[in-house]
Amino acid sequence: MQALLNSKEQKIRQILETVCDPEIPVLTISDLGILRDIKINDEEIEVIITPTYSGCPAMDAITMDIRMKLIEHGYKNVRITSLLSPAWTTDWMSEAGKQKLEVYGIAPPKLSGHLNGQTTLPACPQCHSNNTKLLSQFGSTACKALYQCNDCKEPFDHFKCH
């Protein structure tokens, strides 16, 4: 029975691996660290996620996408629970996710210890120079800040530490 459940969980995990952030489509929800747990019993699948920012509109889209993907694969009885605590942190982002971000042109977050203290500047995702400057604490989405590279002059997004 346990083996059956495990294989079912693996299948579900594989399906959820295809659910991406609608605003940063290179990242899956497990890359982002917002997929917290999957609970399976005979009748129901419970997917537990945690929001990134309180007001992030992507969360509604992600919830819908999880439901649709599972329904497509025949799992009709799905419950999606949003868990606020412990609060999401960018430290939960996978290393693979951080690499994908950088290739995509977004400087990945450093460890969240930087949130309050002295922050080091993110390296330019284009030319990898460390000679960059902050343009704005807030960017095109809640999770990003806007920087510019002083060497190649390219402006770029930085996924903020959180």
Q: Minimal CA–CA distance to 106: which of 150, 60, 147?
A: 147
Shortest separation between residue 76's beta carbon and other proteins, angstroms: 21
4 binds other proteins (CB under 8 A): no
**Number of CB atoms found within 10 A of residue 73's CB:** 13
Which of 22, 53, 80, 129 is the binder for other proteins (CB under 8 A)?
53
111 binds other proteins (CB under 8 A): no
> What is the β-pairing status of strands 35-40 and 78-82?
unpaired
Report the residue number, 53 or 104, with the smaller CB distance to other proteins: 53
99 binds other proteins (CB under 8 A): no
Report the residue number, 135 or 152, with the smaller CB distance to other proteins: 135
Long-range pairs of 98-103 with CB within 8 A, sequence gap ≥ 24:
100/26, 100/27, 100/31, 101/24, 101/26, 101/27, 101/125, 101/159, 103/26
81 binds other proteins (CB under 8 A): no
Report the residue number, 88 or 159, with the smaller CB distance to other proteins: 88
Report which residue type is found at 153.
K
Which of 137, 150, 151, 153 is the binder for other proteins (CB under 8 A)?
137
Sequence-ordered list of residues with C-beta below 8 angstroms from that of 12, at least 6 positions apart, any chain: 38, 40, 45, 70, 75
Q: Are 112 and 119 in contact (CB under 8 A)?
A: no
Which of 16, 30, 88, 102 is the binder for other proteins (CB under 8 A)?
88
Footprint on this chain of other proteins (rule: CB under 8 A): 51, 53-57, 84-89, 115-116, 135-140, 142, 146, 160, 162
